[in-house]
Amino acid sequence: MASAGPEASELLSNLRACLSAMSPHDTPIPGGVGGQSMCTVGLQLAGCVVQDTMPGSPSFACKNILPGDVITEVDGRPVTEASIIDAIRGSDAAGSALKLQLRSADHTLKSVTVVRMPRSEVILRRDLILMLDEVRAGAGAQVVKQRGVKKADEGLLRTLNRAVEASGKAIDSFQEAEQQEQDKVLRLADYIARVKDVTFHYLNRLEDSLSSQSL
């Protein structure tokens, strides 16, 4: 019996690492100035210029904050490169509104309101989106190909796909809950954690099945 290729083992290991990193109870990470930021809206800045928005974050879900936009005001007050981080952190309270005025590339002004979320929730959503992208890109097919299996266990692959689809529905629910009560968001995070455990289970079964079929 041939041993599994290192690429397949590494792929499954990476998938498990992504799943293990997702927990609704992650501790906050450093952010802002002079301390820890408990909340975030997911903006990635260079001075006052938006470089990008973090997948799964309030600014990402907003769809109206674009790379290259320049933040000119926060909560009605002008900001500079020196003051913008503290201004965006503000009260650092989950569920609090952050009002931004931005100047687009064509120099038009627009006003956007986003709601601060716990940093751990944003990281959870980001990691789940990235994991889903990896699985949907054909991770299951790659495992089969790299292990040299002539015929995959199609039933297990279908079940894994159903787990992925369930996770995708949870992400949609997160986006719909953007402006709703924080306790609902936390319940949805717990749901994603349960889906994560189911996905772990089927990843293990898939690996066992592929190993037993390898020649």
Q: What is the pLDDT of residues 119-172, one digit of tens each?
A: 888 888 887 777 766 665 555 555 545 544 444 445 555 555 555 555 555 445
Domains and CATH numbers, the chain: 6-27+119-213 (1.20.120), 39-117 (2.30.42.10)
Which tokens go with 131?
């994991």
Q: pLDDT grade, residue 52 (50/70/90)?
A: very high
83 versus 206: the higher-pLDDT residue is: 83
Q: What is the DSSP string of 94-154?
A: TT-EEEEEEE-TTS-EEEEEEE-EEHHHHHHHHHHHHHHHHIIIIIHHHHHHHHT-SS--H
15 versus 126: the higher-pLDDT residue is: 126
Q: pLDDT grade, residue 50 (50/70/90)?
A: very high
Q: Give residue 195's Cα distance to chain centre.
A: 15
- Would you say residue 104 has pLDDT above 50? yes
Helix or strand holding residue 51 (H, E) = strand 49-53
Query: Model's pTM, two decimal places?
Result: 0.52
Residues of the chain with pLDDT > 70, as a percent, come to 44
Helix or strand holding residue 210 (H, E) = helix 182-213
Residues of the chain with pLDDT > 90, as a percent, come to 33
- Would you say residue 198 has pLDDT above 50? yes
End-to-end CA distance of the chain: 5
Q: What is the distance between the alpha carbons of residues 140 and 199, in angstroms, rounded to a whole number?
A: 12
| 63-82: pLDDT as tens digits | 899 999 999 999 999 999 99
- Would you say residue 60 has pLDDT above 50? yes
Which tokens go with 53?
């928005």
- Would you say residue 103 has pLDDT above 70? yes
pLDDT at 99 (0 to 100): 96
